[in-house]
Amino acid sequence: MPRKKGVAPGGEAGRTQHYRSDEIKKIVLSKLKKAGEEIVKAFNSGEWPTLYLPVRSTKNIVYDPSLRQYVLGPKRAERTVGNIRHLRPFAQLVWVSKFAKQLLTTGKTSTLRDTYYVAIGEGIDFESQDESDEVIMEVESLINQPREDMNIFPEERASIYGDLVIEYTIPGFRGQRIDLSAHPDGYAIGPALTTAEFARCGAEQVFVIEKGAVFSRFVEERADKKFKALLIHTAGQSPRNCRKLIRRLREELNLPVYIFTDADPYGVHIASVLIHGSALSAHIKEINVPDAVWSGVYATDITKYKLPAMRLTEQDFKRLKELEQDPRYTVDPWRREVQYFGKIKRKAELEAFSRYGLEFIVKDFLPERLAELQKR
């Protein structure tokens, strides 16, 4: 396990640095430009401009074992100005591309919702935000970059705490650094943190935690120090930019990632999406973390630790049935745990360890689980 990586070398206050986010911006702008040029070229040579978009229906989604995530299959759909019914979505797509360019060149950010309202203001005829969200996803699939790379960020916020110094790359804060171990309630993972560089890291692993209360518990029991761990609170399902940040911690700093969720089908899904990717984001590559390890709470932990548990609901059983059909659940611990849920028909929360006192989860459960996982 490497540590104390100096990722951003030299340069006073980093103002003249070349950041990874600058590279991404260049790539996105050049991809957008290329798409635009092809449209102009077609017009100039008297042809109908035509775009080829990957089909994002569930029928074209496959699990790619080499990338270890859900991806789109080879099906493409044609969108051409030559078809009068394509004109409207074609124009919408061109507008979103223009808006993305504008965000990147002015250094501003937006959200899905904001983008919809700006479109309305500019007289672009979206019937609802659903429609503009859809077109934003089309642009993502066209240029194969997530919307965050076009400065369109999620509303939801995950947060982070631990021994990591970041360097901002956004306007107004460019080159400034901040130590993420200074505020124990956590730092929101918004546009500034998402695009920051990792300047110095003293942590050796990452603990990803579904629940705010358990994040606080980990901070309070000094899990960050005892285990040299960065703590990330996803607040339920991880927002996409948080998944990407965790992937960067894995790839750039080589940190192992452990995921802690409730012992219920929803918690299993949170871990699974982070590791395998989601069907909904199958058109975006590399925002999942294939090497991350689902570390519990397992269904078998309910029995092993005699955790206070509740009955599974109808919806839980339905979800379990779906998981049983899923190729990713044919290996342990997934298979074993899904089967065990079916057997005991019960679920438990991360907080349930508090039945042994507030210290138990960090003092006893964590070292036991990490030791087990390292034996695998």
Contact 255, 249 (CB under 8 A): yes
Under rule CB under 8 A, residue 217 binds a copy of itself: yes
Other Cβ atoms closer than 10 A to 20: 17
Residue of 187, 227, 298, 305 interacting with a copy of itself (CB under 8 A): 187
Q: What does the DSSP assignment read for 163-192?
A: SEEEE--STTTTT-EEETTS-TT-EE-SHH
Q: Point out which span in 35-43, 281-289, 346-354, 364-372 binds a copy of itself (CB under 8 A).
A: 346-354
Under rule CB under 8 A, residue 324 binds a copy of itself: no
Catalytic (active site) residue 117? yes
Q: What does the DSSP assignment read for 85-133?
A: GGHHHHHHHHHHHHHHHHHHHHT--B-HHHHHHHHHHTT---SSHHHHH
Which of 63, 117, 266, 356 does the annotation list as catalytic? Answer: 117
- Which residue number, 40 or 358, has a Cβ lying nearer to a copy of itself? 358
Residue of 188, 251, 343, 367 interacting with a copy of itself (CB under 8 A): 188
Listed residue (285, 263, 287, 266) closest to 275, CA to CA: 287
Residue of 26, 213, 321, 345 interacting with a copy of itself (CB under 8 A): 213
Q: Point out which span in 47-55, 185-193, 247-255, 278-286 binds a copy of itself (CB under 8 A).
A: 185-193
Q: Residues 104-133: x/- map of binding to a copy of itself (CB under 8 A)? A: ----xxxx-xx--xx-xx------------
Residue of 6, 11, 184, 327 interacting with a copy of itself (CB under 8 A): 184
Residue of 36, 89, 308, 342 interacting with a copy of itself (CB under 8 A): 308
- Which residue number, 227 or 329, has a Cβ lying nearer to a copy of itself? 227
- Which residue number, 236 or 342, has a Cβ lying nearer to a copy of itself? 236
Residues 129-158 touching a copy of itself, rule: CB under 8 A, are 153, 155-157
Q: What does the DSSP assignment read for 257-307?
A: EEEE--BSHHHHHHHHHHHH--GGGTTS-S-S-TT-EE----HHHHHHTT-
30 alpha carbon, distance to own chain's centre? 24
Under rule CB under 8 A, residue 95 binds a copy of itself: no
Listed residue (204, 160, 153, 194) closest to 179, CA to CA: 160
CA-only gyration radius of the chain, Å: 23
Listed residue (111, 104, 98) closest to 26, CA to CA: 104
- Which active-site residues does the annotation give? 117
Q: Residues in the site for a copy of itself, rule: CB under 8 A?
A: 108-111, 113-114, 117-118, 120-121, 153, 155-157, 159, 168, 170, 172-173, 176, 178, 182-193, 211-213, 216-217, 220, 222, 235, 308, 349, 351-358
